[in-house]
Amino acid sequence: MATQIPDQKKVGMVSLGCPKALVDSERILTRLRADGYAMSPDYAGADVVLVNTCGFLDSAKEESLEAIGEAIAENGRVIVTGCMGDEADLIRARHPKVLAITGAHQYEDVVEAVHQAAPPSQGPYIDLVPQPDVKLTPRHYSYLKISEGCNHSCAFCIIPQLRGKLASRRVDAVLREAEKLVAAGTKELLVISQDTSAYGVDIRHEERDWKGHPVRAHMTDLARELGQLRTADGTPPWVRLHYVYPYPHVDAVIPLMAEGLITPYLDIPFQHASPKVLKAMRRPANEAKVLERLANWRAICPDLTVRSSFVVGFPGETEEDFQYLLRWLEEARLDRVGAFRFEPVEGAAANALPDPVPEAVKEERFARLMELTERISAEKLAAKVGRTLPVIIDEVGEADEDGDVGATGRSQADAPEIDGQVFLRNVPETLAQGDVVEVEVEDADAHDLFGVIAGS
């Protein structure tokens, strides 16, 4: 008589928030898959649904609560994890039917909660089969988380309360994961943390052996080693650095970009430029020095892209402060800029600051900032028309009625999901997701580029 293989229990996942939370979701699902669970693409097929929440802003909390409610309505068996895990009372007040609640990156607790809610199908035909890591991103790019937590005490932020102090991973473990990802087909590594520049501070930049030589747990050492990786066709993967605070040692990374070892891209959370506002935010107020360093970086690596984010309407921000920020941005000419209207977050020190900015003023300042940065972006992208740039392909379309095929990709100046895109016309049908091709730029708007594969 044939042996009956038990049905695998299935887990659904709703992952909200930043890329760091997405990596948490991948790790949770990887552990569950090793325990014999299958992944469900929808609510209906899941034995239990995980909702990985974001709790950074009140608007993000509300989005998380709505996602929990939808999961309960569609499935009924819901486990909550992530940054809102510390607010279990709030979650249960809105959704008393939630089965369990765990905090951010508490992987063992999440897995145990799933085991309780939907015991795994034990059996040698499932449990002894090796399972690959779960990826929630396309095969050609991957997030590489190098640390958890943060040592800063910014007045508007509660990340240290949610995720704790800085906890860096061993450098050999990070490099081993990166090597494994590239071997599996990753063409672009996105290095993420709460503070990439501080990597290794908590472990005193300890050295580990890697490929027969010592490597420190330090951003510059890590960047240099990541630049030595090679894809299956012998080319270096794109290595993109996110959440980089402009500490002095960041200067040492720029030559690596000029050499082509690291993608010429820095994501730096400046947040503001006014010294008075930066002081109130409890952030470094050396904006003049930053302008000088930006100029030096661009002299070394002319193709450097700098993206940043700014908060408008912080308590006490005057029109003079805001005008200072606009003048600074005009001089800095950052390539990519995002902006946020200040929101009070429960537990943040900024809530107690005097002189809150009226909502109407926040909106007006937000619109003015975005108008300025959009103009700068349009000018910088227009300067790329006529150039030939490497582009990584994210999606290839279907042939239209004339038989023409279009594709969407990104240049080295564009991180997935947050920056612009490159739209290609008349691409060969053999073009595939993850291919890196040379593209002649034909046109540009305020955010995106348009072109054709060079020589076609």
Q: Which residues of 363-383 are buried (b: 16+ CB within 10 A; e: fewer)?
A: eebbeebeebbeebbeebbee
What pLDDT digit, counting tens, does each position of 155-186 carry?
877 777 777 889 999 999 999 999 999 998 99
Structure tokens, 140: 């050609």
Q: What is the pTM of this model?
A: 0.79
Mean pLDDT in residue range 402-424:
93
Q: Which CATH class is domain 10-127?
A: alpha beta
Q: Dihedrals φ, ψ of 433, to 5°?
A: -55, 135
pLDDT of residue 1: 47
Given a cut of 80, whether residue 309 has pLDDT beyond it is yes
Given a cut of 50, whether residue 124 has pLDDT beyond it is no
Structure tokens, 375: 């103009």
Would you say 379 and 425 are in contact if contact means Cβ atoms under 8 Å apart? Answer: no
Given a cut of 70, whether residue 134 has pLDDT beyond it is no
**Structural domain boundaries of the chain?**
10-127, 141-382, 388-453
Structure tokens, 276: 């008075």
Would you say 250 and 270 are in contact if contact means Cβ atoms under 8 Å apart? Answer: no
Mean pLDDT in residue range 294-300:
96
What pLDDT digit, counting tens, does each position of 362-409 carry?
999 999 999 999 999 999 999 999 999 999 999 998 888 777 899 999
What pLDDT digit, counting tens, does each position of 225-242 carry?
999 999 988 999 999 999
pLDDT of residue 41: 86
Give 60-111 as a 3 state SS string: HHHHHHHHHHHHHHHCCCEEEEEHHHHHHHHHHHHCCCCCEECCCCCHHHHH
Given a cut of 50, whether residue 188 has pLDDT beyond it is yes
Q: Under CATH, what is the fold of the domain 388-453?
A: OB fold (Dihydrolipoamide Acetyltransferase, E2P) (2.40.50)
Which residue has tokens 């009956």? 4
Q: What is the mean pLDDT of the chain?
A: 89
- pLDDT category at 105 given cuts 50, 70, 90 is low
| Distance from chain centroid for Cα 4 | 43
- Tell me the binding residues for [4Fe-4S] cluster: 18, 54, 83, 150, 154, 157
Contacts of 210 (CB under 8 A, 6+ apart): 171, 172, 175, 225
Q: What whole-number distance in Å separates Cα of residue 12 and Cα of residue 370?
A: 37
Given a cut of 60, whether residue 68 has pLDDT beyond it is yes
Structure tokens, 191: 């290095």
Which residue has tokens 């049908």? 429
For residue 19, what are the CA distances in angstroms to 15, 16, 31, 416?
10, 9, 19, 10
- pLDDT above 70 covers a percentage of the chain that reads 94
More confident site: 315 or 283:
315
- Tell me the binding residues: 18, 54, 83, 150, 154, 157
Q: Under CATH, what is the fold of the domain 141-382?
A: pyruvate-formate lyase- activating enzyme (3.80.30)
Structure tokens, 198: 């501080």
